[in-house]
Each structure stands twice: as structure tokens, then as C-alpha cells.
Chains A and B, each alone.
Chain A
Amino acid sequence: MTDATELKRRTAELLAAHPPATTDRMDFLKARFDAGLAWVHYPEGLGGLGAPRSLQAVVDAELEAAGAPDNDPRRIGIGLGMAAPTILKYGTEEQKQRFLGPLWVGEEVWCQLFSEPGAGSDLAALGARAVREGDDWVVNGQKVWTSSAHLARWAILIARTDPDVPKHQGITYFLCDMTDPGVEVRPLRQITGEAEFNEVFLTDVRIPDAHRLGEVGDGWRVAQTTLNNERVAIGGMRLPREGGMIGPVSRTWRERPALRTHDLHQRLLKLWVEAEVARLTGERLRQQLVVGQPGPEGAGMKLAFARLNQEISGLEVELLGEEGLLYDDWTMRRPELVDFTGRDAGYRYLRSKGNSIEGGTSEVLLNIVAERVLGLPSEPRTDKDVAWKDLAR
């Protein structure tokens, strides 16, 4: 039985054997992984101890107090949040042993090759083709909106292996080597001026069958694990009061009375209340998770934050008056980390437009709430029994 006391004991043991002050960062992280203290709910031998997920906080607190290095989770979010749970659930023993360690310590960055120019909300319509040749699959196609592709060593990839069956049935899930000569990554500049994302062109990329995840044709089901974890990751940030987008505009309001107008005051107070209520809803969701009663509220959190981020940053640009006419810098850059509240109000306004698109549009999320939470009927489906190759495009 691995309880909090036992975890504290093991953590102390790790710290004693590898004192953070005198141990190389990567060596420490590897030792932590081997001790099963990386993600305690993972199985033994894969960085965990099969302990309840809620006990991770115990380990994290002990390590933080001891000044131990972390694995910089923001840099490797796609690997931790999406690739890892999918590999854990569907991977072979060899795949789990090969990939989870370097992923967790951050030696290998992961990216996600899912969306395509012709397959956004209707992701299952994707057209990147994978054709079997001997022990390999040969992949051709174009992927888009890929964050970290220029830094990534590996990608989770879904591609079409059978165009003659309905779209959900002909997809297979792969682990793609981003150093393959057929992989070309091009920055995709966005409305903020910078390029967080990439387009990825796949030309005769060879993937060994050993890097297939799950059965041939079962890729859509495998991808659900990835996508469900993505929405948890996007909606699940813990915030103090005024911790999100409402923070900067509230500070500006307090510090610069000359900017205040009655109209802006009414709008600010309304948004402040909505931001505080959304924060409380997030807190309530976390409390439900802690006691093991995950509610359907998670689906709504991303919707709420997308709308609030957009309205609040829009208000902030107006509040700034003459300064609202300016923008800090249009130079094309490639940021390693994305910070929605970073830079100036104009950036926040433009970047937050993506919040209602990335990780599922708000329109699709409303459908999900309506159908899965409220149990309302789905739209009539005209594509369910049509072979992928015969779909309108």
C-alpha cells in the first residue's frame, strides 16, 4: 500500500541519495523517474508506483521544499499531457519502456500531428495517407497548427490507412520520428506577428510498424485518449483571485484613474465578477477531482475562459485609449512557451482570439456539452456510412 507516509519516505530516500544541490539536473530527474516518483499513478518501472494520482501533490511539495529541479512541464506539455497517457494506455511494453522515460525527463520533446488544412473540427476526415510497405508505413500529407514541431524529437500522428471504409474506421495512430528526412517543418505566422505554430509537410516519411500505437484502423479510438487529456490540460489551470486576464486590466484601472469612464467601469465590474465566478468554478471542479467525483464541468471551463479572455482583453485595449492604438512589436518570432497574458494588451487581445479555436472550437464544445452532458440528440449524420474517399471535400 503506497500511502502518503510511504511516498514521503521514498522521496526523502531519493533526496538523500541524490542531493539536488550537488546533482546534475538531468541525473536527478532520471533518478526520480527510476524511483517511481515522476508520476506516482503510473505503473512501477514506468516512473510511477501505481499510487493514487492525488498523492502526486505530496511528492511535489516535498521536492519543491528541498529545492529539487522539475522537468519544466510547460516546455513538454504535449508529451506529458497527451502523448504519455495515450502511450500508457495503448503502447506495447517496448514502446512504454522506450518512450516514457525520455519524455518525462524532457530529453525528448513531443508534438501532435493531428489537424490538417482540410480536417479541423471534423478531424476524423483527415487525409494524410499511410501505406504499408514491408515492415514500414510510408506517410504523405500535410499537418497544421503544430506547436513545438520545430523543437520536437517525436510526434503523435494519425493518418489514413484505409480510404475505402467510413472515415472513423480507416485511421491508424503512429509515433513519428521528427528527424526523418521526409519531415519538413515550416513556421506558421499568426495574427500576433509571431509563429507559435508550424505547418508540417510529410513526404514519404517511413515509420516502422513497431511505432504503430494500437491496432490498424483503431486510430480514432486511440486519439480520443489524447484529445480528452488535451481539454483537461487547457481548462485546468489553478488561479488566485485576479490571476488570469482580469489581473492586468484591474491593475491598470487602479494605477491610472485618468483612463476611467463610467461605461468602462460598468463593463469592467461585470467582467471582474464573471472572471471571479469562473475561477470559483475551476476551484470547485478541482475539489470534485480530489474527492474522486470528476464532474462534467471541465467541458465548460474552456468555453468560459475563452470568452472571458477575449472580452477582458478587448476592454483593456479600449481602456488604454491612445495607447490602445499601438502594438509592442510585430517582429516574427518563435516563442518556446506560450503565455496568454504575456506582452501588452494588443497582444493579449489578438492571442486570445485563438482560445475559442484551439483544442476544439467553442461551437464544437457547446455540441459536446449539449450531447454528452445534457443528453440532447446529435445532428443527423450524413457521413456515418460513407467511405472516406467518397466524402464531399
Chain B
Amino acid sequence: MSTQPDLLYSEEEEALRAAVRDLLTDHCDPAGVIARTESDTPHDSEAWKALADGMGLAGLLVPEAKGGQGATHREAAVVLEELGRAVAPVPYLTSAVVATEALLACEGVDDLLADLASGRRIGALAVALNVAPGGAYKVVRHENGALHGELTAIADATAADVLLVPADDGGLYAVDAGAATVTPQVSLDLTRPVATVTFDGAAGRLLGDAEPAVRRALRAGAGLLASEQLGLADWALTDTVRYLKDRKQFNRPVGGFQALKHRLAQLWLEVVNLRAAARNAVDALANGESGEEGAVAVAVAQAYAASVAVHAAEEALQLHAGIGMTWEHPIHLYLKRAKADAIAYGTAGAHRAALAELVDLQAP
């Protein structure tokens, strides 16, 4: 058993939250995000620049000696809560967390790490978004020093400058996005689209062993995803409460009807629970709990978070009723993100299966 986790937010973390929220209020208004989803550039490069260049947030997980900020998963989680609250179309989780963690598991890649940490380049791990930590993933063929093959459901690949690609020789390779063919797939989640990546004799630079790098990257991705789901759920609850205080039917605010109040109170309880689970997971990651305790903390958070985020988005839609069903209202962006997040980095069921092993509650 580890020592007691710190489940609160520090003053610095709250200050960071306020700064990110301000930035996103300026850059990621709902109408702008909706319009962008149907443009040629679904990712918001302005917002990304402001976060990475302006605030240096892409390098939170990278040590200062390697060009980063030398912060921890606790701070990155606060950023992700705010990005979730805004369903911001920026490759933060995929580049500043997942790709960065993969690089941190390799030796002699300081140049790439520094590029990602500064936000000069965006990285994407070429593993399908639905793969759970420890799950099986597809690899490409490595032949005569070149890569061949096709990988699907690669999140944020269309925004990436460099792809981190696992190959059949057990190596992880860095490939310039220009050397691969990246084809957007029509994605359920409009603000974190996936793409097909095809390699036809692309040159790759060997970074190290794929297995430990991918495992580490996916575990961090899964653990930090819970904070994004928390931010998303918190937005859905807060916005729905606000709307139901305002919306009047039968000569009363709709939020005064007990049937709806109980549903919102129930949802509040779920969000409160998710906050504790998410903080527990990122505190374990920040303390480098790479063993069983860290794995349990991440699996517990991911076994719980998806149902809360999806429930929050679904309740938001139902309780907004007609307006919630329209394309112009942003709820659909949250619902689509929540549902895709429920699959990302392993479903709740996959994480429960992992827990069955970790805490010795074996299947029949």
C-alpha cells in the first residue's frame, strides 16, 4: 500500500486552471468550434499555439533539462480538465501526453522531446485510439530499412508532424508525417478526429523498443483521459443546471421539478466521485507509481469515468430537450467526445478486466 494520495488541487494548479480557462474562453467559443469541425482544418492551430508557445504547456511532462517545464501529471490533468470543459480541438492529450510519454521511455531522443515540449512539432503515437494499456496493437512491416503498412483510428494524426510507429521487428520508429499518407476518417468525435496512416516504404528513425514505450504511453493516456472526462462532465452538469434555472414551462423554472432535480443531484454525485478517482489516478502517475498501485489507480479511474461522462452528456441533451438535439447547440460535441472517450485507451470493461487480475477478483 502506498502513502495517502493527495486528492486536492494546489493553489498553483488552481492558478493554472484559471489561466487555461481564460485562454480557451478567448479561443474556443462553442460557435467557433462547431464551425471549425466542418472546415478543412478541424484542429485549432491558434489555440494550440497559445497553449504550447504562449504558456509552455506542451512540455509539462518533460524535464527542464530536456526542454520542458518539469511539471507532473497533476498539472497536465488540470489542463485536460479545462480542455474537456471546452471540447477544445487541440492535440494535447495525443501529443503532449501520449506521444511525449512514448518518447520519455526511449533513449537518445532529446531532440524530438524538445520539439514536442516546445510545441514546435506535434507528435502522434500510431496506435489505434481504442487500444487499452497492455492491449494488443497493430504494427507495420519493417523491410530493408523502410516501413510498409496501414494503421487505422490514429487520433489527431492529421495535425501531427511526426508519427511514432510500432513495427514488426519490435522497434518504435519516428516517421515524418510528410513521408506517410494520412487520410482523415469520418469520425464520431468531431473535435478529436481519427485518421488512417499508410506507409509505403517510408523511412523511419529507430527510437527504441516499442513495447515498453507504448505501454507507458497508453497508461498515461488512460489515466489523464479521466481528467478530460471530468472536465467534460462538469461542463455538462453546470450548463444543464444553468439552463434549467432559466427555462420556464408550466409557469415555473423547469429546474424546480423534483423529477429533474433528483437526476441532476445524482449526476452531481457522479461528478464528485469522478473528481476523486481522476485526482487519485494522476497523483499516482505523478508519483511514478509504475507498479501495481499505479495500475490500479488508472484502471479504477477508467472503469468509472466513461459512464459518468457519457451519462452527463446524455442527461444534458435530454434535459435541454429540443435545443439539445440541434447542430447549433454545442451539446452534441460533448456527447460525441464523451462516447469516443468511452472507447479511447480501453473501454470501462477492459479496465475492469485488468482490475480482476490486479486486485485478485478472478473470473470463473
Contact = CB atoms under 8 A, between A and B. Distances in A.
Contact of B361 (A269, A283, A366): A269
Chain A interface main SS type:
helix
Interface in A260-307: 260-262, 265-266, 268-270, 272-274, 276-278, 280-281, 283-284, 287-288, 291, 297, 300, 303-304
Contacts of B120: none
Given A261-B364, A281-B272, A366 B352 contact: no
B273 A254 contact: no
Contact of B277 (A269, A280, A374, A379): A280
Given A363-B262, A369-B269, A260 B363 contact: yes
Interface string B287-320: 0000000000000100110000000000000000
A288 B8 CA distance: 7
Place the interface of chain B in its size category. Answer: 35 or more
Contacts of A291: 8
Contacts of A380: 252, 256
Nearest to A288: B8
Contacts of B90: none
A348 B244 CA distance: 39
Contacts of A240: 1
A377 B256 contact: yes
B148 to A, nearest CB: 40
Interface in B258-285: 258, 261-262, 264-266, 268-269, 272-277, 279-280
Contacts of B261: 366-367, 370-371, 374, 376
A358 to B, nearest CB: 19
A134 interface: no
A375 B303 contact: no
A56 interface: no
Contacts of B276: 277, 280-281, 283-284
A240 B7 CA distance: 15
A5 interface: no
Given A260-B364, A284-B8, A374 B256 contact: no
Interface in B169-199: none
Interface string B1-16: 1001111100000000
B268 A300 contact: yes
B253 interface: yes
A42 interface: no
Interface in A367-393: 367, 369-371, 373-380
A289 to B, nearest CB: 11
Contact of A272 (B264, B265, B355): B355
A304 B355 contact: no
A297 B211 CA distance: 41
A284 B266 contact: no
Nearest to A290: B8
B205 interface: no
B87 interface: no
10 contacts: A260-B363, A276-B300, A277-B273, A281-B272, A283-B5, A300-B268, A300-B269, A304-B273, A366-B262, A379-B258
5 pairs of A and B residues whose beta carbons are closest in the complex? A370-B261, A377-B256, A260-B364, A369-B265, A280-B276
